[in-house]
Amino acid sequence: MSTFYHYYKSPFGTLLLAGDGTRLSLLGFPAGAMARQHSDDWVKDSKPFKEAISQLESYFVGELKEFKLELDLYGTDFQRSVWSALTLIPYGETWSYGQLAKHLGKPKASRAVGAANGANPLPIIVPCHRVIAAGGKLGGFGGGLQMKNSLLTLESKFI
C-alpha cells in the first residue's frame, strides 16, 4: 500500500501530512523533535488530505475545537491509550503529565506518559500540546516550545 504525502503551509510553518490515502498517520513539523520529511517512496498528492487541511484551517482560525478525521495511529498499547486520553483534554485547557497519568490509572507513570506524549505522530490533531509540566511550565514539544506556546495562545483566544 502506498503512503501519500503533502506539505501544507499553515500559519505556523509548513506541516508534512502523510497517510494511506484514507487515514492520516503523520503530521510533521518544520523544526524541532518532530521535524519530518517525506520518504523517497511516498507519493506526492494533496487530494487525500483535503479534509485534514480544511479542518486544520478551521482550527487555526478558532472555528474548530475537535478534529474528526480518520486516523491511523501506530504505537504500543500504552502509547495509544495516552494518545486517546489526549483527545479528552478540552480545547483551551491544559493537563499536567501527572494528571494525564492519573487519568490513565497509572499515577506513578508521568515519565512514561511524557515519553508517549512525545512520540505522538499526529500533534495538533491529537492535542499533545495541551500537556504541560507540573507547576505550569511548558515541558517539551515535538514542534519546539515556541510552537507549543503559539498553539496554546491560539486556543486561549477562542475559548
**Catalytic residue list:** 128
Encode burial over 75-91: b for 16+ CB neighbours within 10 A, e otherwise. eeeebebbbebbeebee
Helix axes 110-118, 77-86, angle to 10 degrees: 80
- Whether 113 and 101 have beta carbons less than 8 Å apart is answered as yes
Alpha carbon of residue 107 to chain centroid: 23
The DSSP bridge pattern shows strands 43-44 and 24-28 to be unpaired
Q: What number of residues does the chain have?
A: 159
| Pairwise CA distance, residues 146 & 159, whole Å | 20
Residue 61 amino acid letter: V
